[in-house]
Chain A
Amino acid sequence: MPSVGVAEIVSTVVQPDLFAAAIRIATPLALAAIGGTICERSGVVNIALEGLMLISAFFGVAAALACPVVLGITGVAASWIGVLAAILAGVVMASLHAFASITLKSNQVVSGTAINILALGLTGFLIQVFYQRTGTTDSAVLIPPLFAFDPKPSGGLATAWNWFSGVALGHTPLVYITIVIAIAAQWALYRTRWGLRLRALGEHPRAADTVGISVVRGRYMAVLMSGALAGLAGANLTLEQVGSFSENMTAGRGFIALAANIFGRWTPVGSYLAALLFGFAEALEIRLQAFIGVIKIPPQFFLMLPYILTVVVLAGFMGRAVAPAAVGKPYEKE
């Protein structure tokens, strides 16, 4: 076994692509987490993020694959239609959660869990129906990165440029859209009438009701918006990262997104930053796997990293995280 120094490992791992990967991995987490933030700020728990992401990841691919046949649209345009389909699928699925938890006043955790199970079963089943096989769909055309840039210009600033372009410029459109959404949602939450009312709904719906704000309408809107954002997350997974859909491909990302929302203290930018932290842990894990033979640490340790980080963050730092006071409680009028 060759001996490798710590310095060598660090210089191999700490490269622009480590940070680029962190941003890439963080994107679906952040989208879903911001969806969770908006939903929970209105007073509705959304543990269905996982299922919402999964179902829209599937319908995104399915729509993109159907486009050439049905609409005669091919290539990247088809994939963009897939993105719209993913959003729509997320919204439709979220409307089930909204109906169950707001109109029927059923337990929101149960409703969310039901949606997660439904999404898993339904997508697995539809793969078979549409593509006559199990496990994976065909591949759609991936949406390419937004910017093309020259890899290595010469000159004194070459290193800085390579780092900047390597970290920030190689991404697909939804990665940038996510950053815009995080900032815009943060602004909207704290500056607009919609945001003020949303915060009131999640803290004290009766107080909102007594000044004439419709609790039901506000909560429906919030849940549907979380569906749309989880839909974008699903679209990013299949149409920008992987190309095809495979069974249970979200693999718990919806739950990590939920944790990111909590770690981000129910704020959009906080959610984004928390997602970035989780993304970084996963990116690091992937890089470090290359050294499994070298470092005398069991390989499972690296796989555990993102999850350990989640647990440490939630248990250690988050003792004082305060959820919206009315979250999870159906609103009873009398």
Chain B
Amino acid sequence: MPVLELRGVTKVFPGVVANDDVSLTLERGEIVALLGENGAGKSTLMNVVYGLLTPDGGEILVDGNPVRIRRPRQAIDLGIGMVHQHFMLVETLTATENIVLGREPTRLGVVDLAVARASVVELSERYGLKVDPDKRVMELSVGMQQRVEILKALYQGARILILDEPTAVLTPQEVTELFGVVRSLVTAGLSVVLITHKLEEVLASADRVVVMRDGRVVGETRPSDTDEISLARMMVGRDVVLRVEKGPANPGEVALEVTDLDVDDDRRLHAVKGVSFQVRRGEVVAIAGVSGNGQSEIIEAIVGLRRPRGGSITLLGHDITHSSTASTIAAGVSHVPEDRHRRGLVLEFDLAENLILGDHRRMPFSRRGFLRPKAIAATAKKRISEYDVRTPSASVLAGNLSGGNQQKLVLARELGRDPECLIAAQPTRGLDVGAIEFVHKRILAERDAGKAVLLVSLELEEVQSLADRILVIYEGRLVAEFAGGQVDAETLGVYMTGGGRGAASGVSTTGGVSA
């Protein structure tokens, strides 16, 4: 008998059928991967199971018994635990406090922190989930916060664990650790639903794969019976290119020139140390590196979000070193920021408003300080269809779009203003294969239209499939340069982690290898 069974679950939001007659089973000790593009309805389905959303139809059975789950409390009591895509952690409380919240061990209403802490330590050792129980959540890394979330579910007695896109925020090492933990959980008798849109993870870890598209289950299979290509096809509903075709670069004049750039980070530590590079028209230059090695600071300095300590930045010969963001945009720099929620979009604004941010001072969007709604609406409509943003209308709030559509929205704005130079930071973070393909094609189209493109990415796959030149950054310095297609991931990895400097003489390390 399955521990969890869904029969014909349906959930309708205004304008969207998020789940359409979805059925699914989960056996004891099994890992089922729920695979689907952004917006396919995976989170909605699991929020229904967890009692956060009320279904409009269908049935849920736990251990064969029909249940009505209307509140998370009921789900918890049935042994269902969920780690949400956006963590449900109280940042100002400690790991221990977060884990026991709602089921605190108390004596006469007083929280017994010693008992709480002991249970946390015990659970954490049993499943190999290392956390510092006394640290406040805001002081923990994202990977650590996720472990707190898993411990929270286990503490509450979960037998069925739902993980909603758990790997989207993790580094490759953390992903490996996570799957180790998941395996130890199923060995201990738990059952796991793993929501993801990453194909290799599905193939590596799941016992069974259920694929969703547009709110419906479109297929079910076992990893041994399938491969990445056919999973991608099932998920997107058409053939997907996992790696975009790219013609040779045709570099022209120097567009962006960075010379001896020195930048401090938020903690006033020297994060970028004398970095120099050029980006020519018609080429994609990628900066590869492990997160936190100064990439973000370089970008922020270029686009005017951070004041450089020294050095210079020029765009087509104009000095933009100390320009404001407004004049940097006016000079022809577009920026796809790494965090689309915090910097790319105003989530509380609608799509049309988001599409003119940064251009809102200019004709045709405003005149003498007044916005011109007709021109804004017309442009919004055009960009939304041009960039294939899936939305009922331009007056939907940006926060209601799926991640992939939000990223298309950012691209629509940044590329729509026809820049000279595109700065793209992790442009496909958290996106599914279909959306990645779209973003990659757009970036290459910019290159082929003679724009200069600077790409910063933590994904080596992405760097390798897009870049014409690859710069490797380590601890704030550019430590190596390669021509695109001339280097394998292992070599890049060695340079990214501070190795390989002795061998660097074989490759050029300063601006020489421009295709």
Contacts and interface: CB of A to CB of B under 8 A. Distances in A.
Interface string B254-265: 000000000000
Contacts of A253: none
B144 interface: no
Contact of B89 (A191, A192, A193, A207): A207
B111 A196 contact: yes
Closest 9 CB pairs of A and B: A211-B102, A212-B73, A207-B88, A210-B72, A203-B90, A204-B90, A200-B90, A210-B88, A212-B102
B101 interface: yes
Interface of A: 191-194, 196-197, 199-200, 203-204, 206-213, 325, 333-334
B93 A199 contact: yes
B298 to A, nearest CB: 28
11 contacts: A193-B106, A194-B109, A196-B97, A200-B90, A204-B89, A207-B101, A208-B102, A210-B84, A212-B72, A213-B101, A325-B92
Contacts of A191: 110-111
A49 to B, nearest CB: 24
A199 to B, nearest CB: 7
A196 B101 contact: yes
A194 B101 CA distance: 11
B91 A204 contact: yes
A213 B103 CA distance: 9
Nearest to B102: A211
A211 B91 contact: no
Contacts of A192: 106, 109-111
Interface in B67-95: 71-73, 76, 82, 84, 88-93
Contact of A207 (B90, B106, B109, B110): B90
Tell me if A's interface is mostly helix, strand, loop or mixed.
helix
Nearest to A207: B88
B45 to A, nearest CB: 14
Which residue among B72, B90, B152 has the maximum number of chain A CB atoms within 10 Å of its CB?
B90
A107 B220 CA distance: 47
Listed residue (B89, B91, B102, B103) with the most chain A CB atoms within 10 angstroms of its CB? B102
Contact of A193 (B92, B109, B152): B109
Interface of B: 50, 52-53, 71-73, 76, 82, 84, 88-93, 97-98, 101-104, 106, 109-111, 152, 156
Contacts of A200: 90, 93, 101
A292 B317 CA distance: 67
Contacts of B73: 211-212
Given A203-B90, A203-B93, A204-B91, 13 more contacts: A192-B106, A192-B109, A193-B109, A199-B92, A207-B90, A207-B101, A210-B72, A210-B84, A211-B72, A211-B76, A211-B88, A211-B103, A213-B102
B76 A212 contact: yes
Contacts of A333: 52
Nearest to A194: B109
Nearest to B47: A334
A193 B72 contact: no
Given A208-B101, A334-B53, A199 B90 contact: yes
A326 B155 CA distance: 26
A194 B93 CA distance: 14
Contacts of A203: 90-93
A334 B72 CA distance: 12
A192 B97 CA distance: 11
B93 A193 contact: no
A193 B53 contact: no
Nearest to A206: B88
Contacts of B89: 204, 207
Nearest to B73: A212
A208 B72 CA distance: 10
A165 to B, nearest CB: 36
A204 B149 CA distance: 14
A333 B54 CA distance: 11
Nearest to B53: A334
Nearest to A209: B72
Contacts of A209: 72
Contacts of B88: 204, 206-207, 210-211
Among A204, A213, A325: residue with most chain B CB under 10 A: A204
A197 B104 CA distance: 10
A334 B18 CA distance: 14
A14 B103 CA distance: 53
A197 B91 contact: no
A202 to B, nearest CB: 9
Contacts of B53: 334
B92 A211 contact: no
A193 B104 contact: yes
A204 B101 CA distance: 12
A204 B86 CA distance: 12
A148 to B, nearest CB: 37
Contacts of B84: 210
Nearest to B51: A210
A296 B299 CA distance: 58
Contacts of B103: 211
Contacts of B101: 196-197, 200, 207-208, 211, 213
A210 B104 CA distance: 15
B227 to A, nearest CB: 37
A200 B82 CA distance: 18
Contacts of A334: 52-53
Nearest to B89: A207
A146 B73 CA distance: 49
A207 B103 CA distance: 13
A9 to B, nearest CB: 46
A221 to B, nearest CB: 14
Chain B CB within 10 Å, residue with most, of A192, A196, A206: A196
Contact of A211 (B106, B109, B110, B156): B156
A200 B88 CA distance: 11
A31 B117 CA distance: 34
A334 B104 CA distance: 26
Nearest to A205: B90
Interface centre among A206, A209, A211, A325 (most CB of B within 10 A): A211
A211 B90 contact: no
Contacts of B72: 209-212
Nearest to A190: B111
A211 B152 contact: yes
B112 to A, nearest CB: 10
Contacts of A213: 101-102
A194 B104 CA distance: 10
Contacts of B82: 210
Contacts of A197: 101-102
B10 to A, nearest CB: 16
Nearest to B87: A207
